[in-house]
Every structure is written in C-alpha cells, then in structure tokens.
Amino acid sequence: MIDNLFASRGSSREIEEGTTFAPKFDEAGLIACVVTDIGTGEVLMVAHMNAQAIQRTVATGEAWFYSRSRGALWKKGETSGHVLRLKEMRVDCDQDVLWIKVELVGPGACHTGRRSCFYRAVVHSAPDAPMMLEFRDAEHSFDPAAVYGASKE
Amino acid sequence: MIDNLFASRGSSREIEEGTTFAPKFDEAGLIACVVTDIGTGEVLMVAHMNAQAIQRTVATGEAWFYSRSRGALWKKGETSGHVLRLKEMRVDCDQDVLWIKVELVGPGACHTGRRSCFYRAVVHSAPDAPMMLEFRDAEHSFDPAAVYGASKE
C-alpha cells in the first residue's frame, strides 16, 4: 500500500523534469531531510525519513523521521511536545534529498535545549592549526533535562 | 597533515557541548552539507564533503564537495563559474551534518538551470493516490546547455 505512494526511478530526465515523485532511498531505505523554519529560514535540524515517515508526515501535517541509532520511526515532539508543523515539502533535482519548511511548535528543535541543532560555527585560525568550533545562536531556549528527562528524542 | 585539522570523536558531551571539531564521516569518508543562500535563506543544494573538501572550502572561501557518482573532489562552479562564496560554516549537535551559508555568484546553483535544486514540492491529493510533484520557483535562471555543454557539474 505504501509503495503505491511513490514511483519507481525513471530516466534522469523524468527524475529531474517530471512531476512523478520517485525518491531515491539509500540501501537502508532512508532519505535525508533538511528542516528549516518557515519564519526565519534557519536550518533547524537534518534527519532521515523512510517511506513510512514521509507518508505519515504528509498525512498528519507533522514531521516524522526514522532514527538510525534507535532503528525506529519517531515523531518529532512525541516526548517534548515540540512538534514540527509541515508547511511545504520539497525534493531536489535528483530526488535524493527532501527539504521541509515547518512551523516549530515550542521553544526549540534540538535535544540539547536550543532552537536549532546548528549552534556552532567552524572556525580556522591558521592553516596548520586544528579547526575549532565557536558557539553562535547557542543560548538555551528550554531545559532539556526538564523536557526530556532521561530520554533523548 | 589534513588529519590534524579534525579531532577524533569524544564523548557525547564533548561532541555536543565542546569547541572541538570532530566531524563524523560516514564509511565512505563523507559528511552531508546543506547549502543555503545567505541573502534569501533558501536551500540551494545539498552535497557531500570529505575531509579535503572541508579543508579547501575553509582555506579558499569557496565551496568544494566530493561527488559520489564521479568519485572525485570538485569545486562548485569549476565549469559554470557559479561558485559559492563561504560566509559561515556550521555543524550540528552530533557533528554529522554541515551547513554552509553562501553567497551564490551567478544565476543559479542547480545543474538544471535553476537557482535552487529544490524547485518542486511534494503534493498529495488523496491518501490512496500516488504523491506527485508540483513545480515551484522553477523558472530557469540560466541555460544549462550553454553553461555546461556536455558536462554535468
């Protein structure tokens, strides 16, 4: 039944210029999904979807993903309440990456307690020095211990 | 020499809350990189970097990637001239995804001749119907045949 939702992969031209949705899942059945905030445009997180996660996301209007580490389907916000309301789902030219624009319900998308998972910039002071990270937009928007307890969404 | 640029992976706490850059490369030595336009915030493309691509991107201020299909390092814009000027590189909480904010030099980042690779939205008219694609922001900003000729960047 879920297989009927997607088309099989056709020619490059069909994939790039057609209106048939033929996502390219990797050998684990997953496709990467970039999540941006529809208001600010910032990248909130990147996660993976399988066929079922795509189906549930589109059907329910809230983002579902597949956790590689836990080997399980999960709804973003199932523990925290910080769900991601789907505003638009896009796919790229070769249909191997998804981009969803969402409205973040609640203070943050990152399990560390920040709004976005991308709270550090890569900086490089000298060619022979190690690259380092610098915190940016890294203030906590919620207390992860209070929200998640021992679980990690 | 290039290995000195990155730290080895430490504890979760070090990875998530530290200032040490310890990117998690996959078994092929790659890490996904989301590219957004610093002006508009739109996602232009998603590609992969290896260690050398990260090093060159940071050293030169222009984006380099690693092509899985061609098995080669490549500079975005080497054929088209549409280079991506690096404004900031971010990494996510578990350091397995990069996000670069860039200034796009030239009319488009997509080899199909569009500004962004994400020129189609996923739409679903009925639960038992296949998901389809709808063109959005899909006007051509350049002629790919004239820019690339027979090559595909």
Q: Please tell me if residue A69 touches chain B, with a CB cutoff of 8 Å.
A: no
The ipTM of this complex is 0.95
CA distances to A43, A71, A89, B14, B45 from A92, in Å: 16, 26, 10, 34, 7
Provide the residue type at B106 as one letter: G
Residue B64 and residue A53: Cα distance in Å, rounded? Answer: 31
Tens digits of per-residue pLDDT, A64-100? 999 999 999 999 999 999 999 999 999 999 999 999 9
Tell me the chain B residues in contact with residue A91 when contact means C-beta distances shorter than 8 Å: 118, 120-122, 133
Tell me the chain B residues in contact with residue A88 when contact means C-beta distances shorter than 8 Å: 121
DSSP letter assigned to residue A104: E
* pLDDT in single tens digits along all 153 residues of chain B: 687 899 999 999 999 999 999 999 999 999 999 999 999 999 999 999 999 999 999 999 999 999 999 999 999 999 999 999 999 999 999 999 999 999 999 999 999 999 999 999 999 999 889 999 999 999 999 999 999 986 655
The burial of A9, by beta-carbon neighbours within 10 Å (0-12 exposed, 13-18 middle, 19 or more buried), is given as middle
Closest CB from B32, B59, B133 relative to A91 = B133
Q: What is the pLDDT of residue A29?
A: 97
Best interface-test mutation with B: which of A6, A20, A48, A131 has the largest number of B CBs within 10 A?
A131
Interface of B with A in 84-143 (CB under 8 A): 88-93, 97-99, 110-112, 114, 117-122, 124, 127-128, 130-136
Identify whether the C-beta of residue A113 lies closer than 8 Å to the C-beta of residue A141: yes
Measured from the Cβ of residue A94, the count of other Cβ atoms closer than 10 Å reads: 16
Residue B153 and residue B142: Cα distance in Å, rounded? Answer: 14
Q: Please tell me if residue B36 touches chain A, with a CB cutoff of 8 Å.
A: yes
> Angle CA(A39)–CA(A45)–CA(A47) in degrees, nearest 5?
130
The 3-state secondary structure of B41-53 reads CCEEEEEEECHHH
Provide the residue type at A22 as one letter: A
Closest CB from B7, B41, B99 relative to A118 = B99
Tell me the chain A residues in contact with residue B122 when contact means C-beta distances shorter than 8 Å: 21, 54, 58, 89-91, 98
The band of A2, judged by pLDDT with boundaries at 50, 70 and 90, is: confident
Phi, psi of B58 (to 5 degrees): -70, -40
Contacts for A77 with CB less than 8 Å, ≥ 6 apart: A62, A83, A84, A105, A106, A153
Residue B92 and residue B98: Cα distance in Å, rounded? Answer: 7
Tell me the chain A residues in contact with residue B132 when contact means C-beta distances shorter than 8 Å: 19-21
Residue B122 and residue B135: Cα distance in Å, rounded? Answer: 9
Tell me the chain A residues in contact with residue B100 when contact means C-beta distances shorter than 8 Å: none
The 3-state secondary structure of B117-136 reads CCCEEEECCCCCCCCEEEEC
CA distances to A94, A115, B80 from A110, in Å: 29, 6, 37
Q: Å from A89 to nearest chain B CA?
A: 5
Q: What is the pTM of this model?
A: 0.96
Q: Closest chain A residue to B61 measured between Cα atoms?
A: A124
H helix or E strand, kind and range, residue B145:
helix B144-148
Could you identify the residue written with the tokens 């191997």? A96
